[in-house]
């Protein structure tokens, strides 16, 4: 993620899904003005991981600060890996993919640190 100027962590959830938790800051510590849009920005990054010998995964979850919510608010965006690959191949457009995304807002007691 650092090569894309994104600060955060990556881990596997218990169900094998890849979770990218982004701090909402860049690698220099500056706040990103559009943190909730970053989920879309990391989709291509996640899709490149199998070329490095990682994945594929059943799903991708991107956890970002929710700029529209309360302090400590987070937005979790989940997409099925098959749908994500279809989008990358042009088989789904942005609108079709957005209909297949699952989103959830929640409050995290502490900020995510890279």
pLDDT tens-digit readout, 8-29: 899 999 999 999 998 888 788 8
| pLDDT (mean) for 29-53 | 84
Cβ 29 vs Cβ 7: under 8 Å: yes
pTM confidence score: 0.85
Query: Which tens digits make up the pLDDT trace of 69-93?
Result: 677 888 999 999 999 999 999 999 9
Give the whole-angstrom CA distance, residue 96 versus residue 5: 28
List, in sequence order, every residue forming a beta bridge with 74; answer none if it has no partner: 65, 106
Structure tokens at 33: 């003005």
Give the whole-angstrom CA distance, residue 17 versus residue 110: 23
> For residue 50, how many other CB atoms are within 10 A of its CB?
13
**Where in the chain are the domains?**
2-107
């Amino acid at each position: 993620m650092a090569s894309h100027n994104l600060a955060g962590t990556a881990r596997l959830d218990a169900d094998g899904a890849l979770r990218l938790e982004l701090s909402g800051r860049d690698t220099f510590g500056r706040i990103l003005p559009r943190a909730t849009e970053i989920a879309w920005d990391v989709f291509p990054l996640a899709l490149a991981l199998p070329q490095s010998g990682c994945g594929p995964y059943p799903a991708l979850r991107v956890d970002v600060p929710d700029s529209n919510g309360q302090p400590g608010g987070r937005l979790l965006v989940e997409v099925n890996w098959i749908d994500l690959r279809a989008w990358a191949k042009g088989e789904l457009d942005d609108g079709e993919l957005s209909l297949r995304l699952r989103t959830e807002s929640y409050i995290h007691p502490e900020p995510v640190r890279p």
